[in-house]
Amino acid sequence: MVRVISQETYDEVVNENMEQFSMTPKEAIEDAVKQFEAQGVDLSNIIKDLILNDDNELIGSYLNQINIAIQDKNYDNIHHTLDKLRNELDKDIAYRVYAGKKGAYDSLIQLMQSCPNNGTLIKAALKAITSLMTGNPDLLNQEGVALQIQILDNYPDIPTLQCLLRWIRECCIKHELNRQSIFNADIFNKLKKILVRDDASGPELRDACAVIRALVLDDDIRHEYGKAHEHATVIAKGALNVLTGLMPRYKKDRGVVGDLMITLAALIVRNEFCQEVEEAGGLKFVIDVMIDYPDSEKLNWQALKLLKALAGNDNVKSHIITSGCGPIIVSAISRLRDSECVVTAGLACISALTLRCSSNAGVFYDCGAPLVIIDAMKAYPKSVNVLKQAAWAIRNMSVRNKAECSEFVAHGIEDVLASALRLHGPKIESDVKAALRDLGLKVELKERWTGKGVSMSNGTV
């Protein structure tokens, strides 16, 4: 279990080093850091050199100016103070934690509540509170959620709306309860209003999509069971047709197209959703993107993520292959092999498309996938993600295609898998051994459980 301490405890040790042991400030800090790290203390939330600068006084001073402005209802030049505060908060997570303990969250919320019609101030405050809560989402409360919805209902301009959406997104990252609170405030219907507006700009759509993806994350280790699937289901039922309809409209805007694809990939969590996206022209659009932008690393990665998600439906999986995606996927992996993200996504795509489908596997054999997969493993010997996805792809291509799988063996896959196993051990042991087994190669499998030889009775007479 990770140990943590407060800023005050850390500062006391630094001061003690200087007073009792006559250390210089720099020596005192180095010694304190060594002491705590030796004890297994996590210092990521601590400003280690606070004693050497006046950053704490700056943060306190800026917050004091904000509080006085709220009290006196005089907001002249406060947006400059907010910009200066944001610069301090952007330095490090420790500064944000420190500011949070000094009441920065409450001050910023009160400031926005006190002058809802001051667009310049609201925008500056939204930027500051986003910086404050980056990696520090625990500060959000119901008052903050209510304010988010209030501003969303009355957004005065696109830049302010974008600042708000970025704050909302930051509140959702690695915080399950925040996601649920924001979702329960009916935010989806408000986001949908942005998506369906005829005059919605590309930047607005991208930020709205980013919030949607954040609402369906499952990244908070403090909660074993989240509501990502429930959120995705509700949003998908209300927005899949809207999102797919936007794709041709913004086909010349790479940023919007990419965000739409990756958002759809996050939402199609059920069989019928995959079918709906395909029937709305989603599959054809993805293919067109990969053909039209062959050298775009990001767009190809996003397209491959969506293809993998669509493969969750067996009928769509078959259509993906009959539409000619096999050679396109293999070509993308080979062409963009310098991108680990594209290679990983491409291998995951092959794995999903060949799962329990020997005919699809045959197509990948025909378009040279074995050699491309092996080359990818050789190019990224230290990447567990690449090696795992490759092992799964090999297994799915081999288990029902015993005749063709000799192609992997002929290209030296046994040595590549053995090398991966030696390098990464338990991290990929089960995946590599399963691939070796389905290739018909020698592998030592562990017997996980054996009976004790005791006879059993069903208790009947």
Q: Give the DSSP letter of residue 154.
A: T
3-class DSSP state of 84: helix
The DSSP H or E segment spanning 309 is: helix 297-310
Q: What is the pLDDT of residue 211?
A: 97
Q: What is the mean pLDDT of residues 352-376?
A: 96
Q: What is the pLDDT of residue 414?
A: 94
Q: How far apart, in whole angstroms, are the C-alpha atoms of residue 398 and residue 358? A: 8
Q: What is the pLDDT of residue 443?
A: 75
Q: How far apart, in whole angstroms, are the C-alpha atoms of residue 276 and residue 267? A: 12
Long-range contacts from 39-45, C-beta under 8 angstroms, 24+ separation: 39/3, 40/2, 40/3, 41/3, 41/4, 41/5, 42/2, 42/3, 42/4, 43/5, 43/10, 44/93, 44/94, 45/4, 45/7, 45/93, 45/94, 45/97
Q: What is the pLDDT of residue 188?
A: 95
Most confident of the ranges 151-155, 277-281, 442-446: 277-281
Q: What is the pLDDT of residue 44?
A: 78
Is pLDDT above 70 for 315?
yes
Q: What is the pLDDT of residue 94?
A: 86
- In the structure encoding, which two tokens stand for residue 214, read together? 């954040």
Q: What is the mean pLDDT of residues 287-292?
A: 95
| Per-residue confidence band for 37, with pLDDT thresholds at 50, 70 and 90 | confident
Is pLDDT above 70 for 2?
no
Is pLDDT above 50 for 461?
no
Q: How far apart, in whole angstroms, are the C-alpha atoms of residue 100 and residue 6? A: 13
Most confident of the ranges 20-29, 51-60, 360-369: 360-369
Is the distance from CB of 315 to CB of 277 less than 8 angstroms? no
The DSSP H or E segment spanning 300 is: helix 297-310
Is the distance from CB of 5 to CB of 46 less than 8 angstroms? yes
Q: How far apart, in whole angstroms, are the C-alpha atoms of residue 259 and residue 281? A: 17
Q: What is the mean pLDDT of residues 236-259?
A: 94
Q: What is the mean pLDDT of residues 107-131?
A: 94
pTM assigned to the model: 0.85
**pLDDT per position as a tens digit, 368-395:** 999 999 999 999 999 999 999 999 999 9
